[in-house]
Amino acid sequence: MKTKGLASTRALSAFVAMKFEKDAWNDPRYLAMSEVLEEAGFDVTRADQIGSSGEVVREVLDRLRTADLVVVDTTGESQSVSYELGYCHGIDRSVDTLVLLGRAGTKIPFNYSHFRHLYVP
């Protein structure tokens, strides 16, 4: 419920879907993404940071559905990332709240290469 004249105290949520690297906790791409998102006022989560004992896939899908912003890094080949992006499209997630990232010079899979991506070094 909004109260006229008062700003919401709830932090915006951002969920990041990406291929995990060998040292996932120190992945420079994720650290950079989360830093930028946190500076913009988002509470950032990635699948390996969901701290519950529930079903992993169900909890990831819940985050993909309910997060204020979803960032999908399509760099590298990851069946999980393809699945998560497909889910976002299947639920008609607004393009205003879905950001696709790609690494400059890498090939993006055919089935979603036609969607607009932000390319990063």
Give the residue, 43 or 55, on which the prediction is more confident: 43
Query: Could you tell me the CA-to-CA distances from 117 to 5, 52, 78, 101, 113 in Å, in that order?
Result: 37, 32, 17, 5, 8
pLDDT at 60: 94
Written as one letter, the residue type at 46 is: R
Q: What is the CATH number of domain 12-120?
A: 3.40.50.450
Whose CA is closest to 95, among 112, 83, 78? 112
Model confidence, pTM: 0.82
For residue 39, pLDDT over 90 is answered with yes
Share of the chain above pLDDT 70, in %: 87
